[in-house]
């Protein structure tokens, strides 16, 4: 029977997750150089439009129609065939159209996360192809395998809100993109607007409550736990990042604080509705430290992941999925499992294997995909456009008109 409270909450959660994509555009736009603000922001907003088209045409069907125990669903619900205003989601509490919209917002932001790694180096035409193919062959299969009743779900793998499905796959795809595309011509670029980064991170944090709490797809005690776990982990990660950066670099950095919050949010995502509050605090602390050192490793290795997508989202998602295998408790969520801390060693090993496999697949497929795309259209922008900036070179616009009053 339809629950108006759960339906209303899910519409709100859907709106919050939608807001995360513009928030990501602001976050990345502030971190980019002044001549590449629009070039990175348009990639996020493009996903809002084009991913919706793909989701309507066949994405939802491939993820959530048929294919029990498999890798992909079928096309029975392509173009939302058979979905009516009376169709109900499987839990019987909300209309299916609300669930379609909610999951569509996840599909929109996931490939947009990757773009921060190759800021100012990839042509817009190549990005459109990348956005399309990556969703079909990476995002859709993992959504189906974990959330659509597919292979990994039947094996017993859990992911509450997308640590593996969203963050690990996007983060390791970002690293593959960096390896293929190569380093920026000018790597000494600095953020053009830290206040814009702050606005973006604030919108992401705000939207993340819908991202995590909404993944219960109902209003109950698990929803409340997921909500508070999200804030606790983000806060502890923020503090941990600031402290370690302050100790090592002698100054507390605002960009570091903001980055630490995103690391905590990404890491708690798979765990939010499955672990106790004390574990969320511990997970957040570990996330702040581990993701900080992942970024330092990236710098030492000279991997030009411009906006630290791998260190924050890739490592955060991988770490969170493994932490779920440690701290999950059926006392929190009867539909979950007991992790290693509660005697569930088998579940722990399944989480580790699945997380590593998902990360490796996303990395390998993305690298091969970029090679193929480059045969169709150049992936990397010409050097002269990279130096002058993508905003003018590809989009014919400037973020700021310095000549106006």
pLDDT tens digits, residue range 89-108? 999 999 999 999 999 999 99
Give the separation between CA 154 and CA 215, rounded to whole angstroms: 19
pLDDT one-digit tens code per residue, 108-118: 999 999 999 99
Instruction: Give residues with Cβ within 8 angstroms of 255, minimum separation 6.
Output: 31, 191, 194, 197
Phi, psi of 122 (to 5 degrees): -115, 135
Give the separation between CA 268 and CA 292, rounded to whole angstroms: 16
Is the per-residue pLDDT at 405 higher than 50?
no
pLDDT one-digit tens code per residue, 242-263: 999 999 999 999 999 999 999 9
- Judge contact between 332 and 226, C-beta under 8 A: no
- State the distance between the two ends of the chain, measured CA to CA, in whole angstroms: 59
Residue at 117 is within a domain: yes
Is the per-residue pLDDT at 230 higher than 80?
yes
Residue at 62 is within a domain: yes
* CATH number of the domain enclosing 33: 1.10.3430.10
Give the separation between CA 59 and CA 399, rounded to whole angstroms: 33
Question: Strand, helix or coil at 240?
Answer: helix
Give the separation between CA 41 and CA 39, rounded to whole angstroms: 6
* pLDDT score of 403: 62
Q: How many domains does the chain have?
A: 1
* pLDDT score of 167: 98
The partner residues of 380 in beta bridges, in order of sequence, read 122
* pLDDT score of 186: 77
Tallying the residues shown for the chain, one arrives at: 405
- Judge contact between 289 and 319, C-beta under 8 A: no
**Portion of the chain with pLDDT greater than 90, in percent:** 96
Residue at 401 is within a domain: no
The range of the structural domain enclosing residue 162 comes to: 4-391
Residue at 284 is within a domain: yes
Residue at 49 is within a domain: yes
- Give the pTM: 0.96
Residue at 374 is within a domain: yes
Tokens read off for 246: 């302050």
Q: CA torsion 176→182→186→191, rounded to 10°?
A: -10
Instruction: Give residues with Cβ within 8 angstroms of 149, minimum separation 6.
Output: 67, 68, 69
The CA-based angle 365-370-375, given to 5 degrees, is 130
The secondary structure of residue 80, as a DSSP letter, is: G
pLDDT one-digit tens code per residue, 344-403: 999 999 999 999 999 999 999 999 999 999 999 999 999 999 999 999 999 999 998 776
* pLDDT score of 404: 53
Over the range 319-340, which residues count as b (16 or more CB within 10 Å of their CB) and which as e? bbbbbbbbbbbeebbeebbbbb
* pLDDT score of 59: 98
Picking from 174, 176, 165, 114, the residue whose alpha carbon sits closest to that of residue 143 is: 165
Give the separation between CA 375 and CA 369, rounded to whole angstroms: 10
Is the per-residue pLDDT at 19 higher than 70?
yes
* pLDDT score of 317: 98
Residue at 400 is within a domain: no
Tokens read off for 68: 């029990």
The CA-based angle 284-193-233, given to 5 degrees, is 10
* pLDDT score of 234: 98
* pLDDT score of 190: 84
pLDDT one-digit tens code per residue, 192-215: 999 999 999 999 999 999 999 999
* pLDDT score of 401: 78
Give the separation between CA 339 and CA 322, rounded to whole angstroms: 10
Residue at 307 is within a domain: yes
């Amino acid at each position: 029977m339809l629950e108006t409270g759960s339906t209303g909450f899910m519409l709100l959660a859907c709106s919050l997750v939608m807001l995360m994509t513009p928030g990501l555009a602001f976050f990345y736009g502030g971190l980019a150089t002044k001549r590449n603000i629009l070039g990175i922001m348009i990639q996020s907003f493009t996903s809002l439009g084009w991913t919706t088209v793909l989701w309507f045409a066949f994405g939802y069907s491939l993820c959530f129609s048929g294919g029990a125990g498999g890798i992909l669903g079928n096309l029975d619900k392509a173009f939302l065939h058979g979905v009516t205003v009376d169709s109900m989601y499987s839990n019987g509490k909300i209309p299916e159209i609300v669930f379609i919209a909610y999951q569509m917002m996840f599909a929109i932001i996931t490939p947009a996360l990757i773009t921060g790694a190759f800021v100012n180096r990839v042509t817009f035409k190549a990005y459109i192809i990348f956005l399309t193919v990556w969703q079909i062959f990476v995002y859709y299969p993992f959504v189906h395998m974990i959330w659509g009743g597919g292979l990994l779900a039947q094996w017993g793998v859990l992911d509450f809100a997308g640590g593996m499905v969203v963050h690990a796959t996007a983060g390791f795809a970002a690293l593959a993109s960096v390896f293929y595309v190569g380093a920026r011509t000018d790597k000494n670029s600095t953020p053009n607007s830290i206040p814009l980064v702050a606005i973006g991170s604030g919108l992401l944090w705000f939207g993340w409550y819908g991202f995590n709490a909404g993944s219960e797809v109902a209003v109950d005690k698990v929803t409340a736990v997921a909500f508070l776990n999200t804030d606790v982990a983000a806060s502890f990660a923020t503090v941990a990042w600031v402290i370690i950066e302050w100790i090592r670099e002698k100054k507390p950095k605002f960009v570091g604080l903001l980055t630490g919050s995103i690391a905590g949010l990404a890491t708690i995502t798979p765990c939010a509705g499955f672990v106790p509050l004390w574990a969320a605090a511990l997970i957040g602390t570990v996330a702040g430290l581990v993701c900080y050192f992942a970024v330092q490793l990236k710098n030492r290795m000279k991997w030009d992941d411009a906006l630290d997508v791998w260190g924050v989202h890739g490592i955060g998602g991988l770490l969170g999925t493994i932490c779920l295998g440690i701290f999950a408790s059926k006392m929190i969520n009867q539909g979950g499992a007991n992790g290693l801390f509660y005697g569930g060693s088998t579940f722990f090993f399944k989480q580790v294997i699945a997380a590593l496999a998902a990360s490796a697949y996303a990395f390998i497929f993305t690298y091969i995909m970029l090679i193929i795309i480059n045969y169709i259209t150049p992936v990397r922008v010409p050097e002269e456009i990279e130096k002058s900036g993508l905003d003018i070179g590809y989009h014919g616009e400037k973020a700021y008109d310095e000549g106006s009053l």
